[in-house]
């Protein structure tokens, strides 16, 4: 069986204080609990002046304060929108921090399709691993 499917949900960024009900808050976090895997797409575009690591840490903090189970779900860290030379400079600035968080972090571009197939495969591997572990428990 060469092909399998999975459902992916694009969940907009959490804001600081979501676990206290700010923004979409608790409702948003409860929706996130149904996932089996979290894929963090950090924006490395040149248009964004945001600190991608700070954004990631805010999300991690919100997950942890809301639910240890949610915080402990498998996660994949992805540097996205890396198709511009200046984005590569931005990535170089944060690369050490990215590796510290996830030594296997991925770099993708939907414009150039860089590493998209690899990301889908990694998602598949993670979901398949979880499925196998659940079957062993039964």
Q: Residues 120, 6: contact at Cβ < 8 Å?
A: no
Structure tokens at 120: 């889908």
Q: Which residues of the chain have pLDDT under 50?
A: none
pLDDT at residue 1 in the model: 55
**pLDDT tens per residue, range 77-114:** 999 999 988 899 999 999 999 999 999 999 999 999 99
CATH class as words, domain 18-137: alpha beta
Q: What is the pTM of this model?
A: 0.84
Distances (CA, A) of 33 to 23, 29, 48, 72, 97: 17, 6, 28, 11, 27
Please state the domain extents for the chain.
Answer: 18-137
């Amino acid at each position: 069986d060469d092909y399998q499917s999975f459902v992916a949900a694009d969940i907009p960024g959490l804001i600081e204080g979501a676990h206290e009900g700010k923004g979409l808050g608790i409702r948003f976090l409860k929706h996130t609990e149904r996932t089996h895997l979290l894929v963090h797409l950090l924006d490395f575009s040149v248009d964004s002046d945001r600190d991608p690591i700070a954004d990631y840490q805010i999300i991690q903090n919100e997950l942890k304060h809301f639910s240890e189970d949610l915080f402990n779900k498998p996660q994949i860290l992805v540097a996205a929108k890396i198709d511009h030379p200046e984005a590569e400079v931005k990535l170089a600035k944060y690369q050490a921090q990215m590796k510290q968080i996830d030594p296997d972090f991925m770099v993708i571009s939907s414009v150039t399709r860089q590493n998209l197939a690899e990301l889908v495969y990694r998602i598949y591997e993670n979901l398949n691993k979880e499925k196998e572990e659940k079957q062993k428990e039964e």
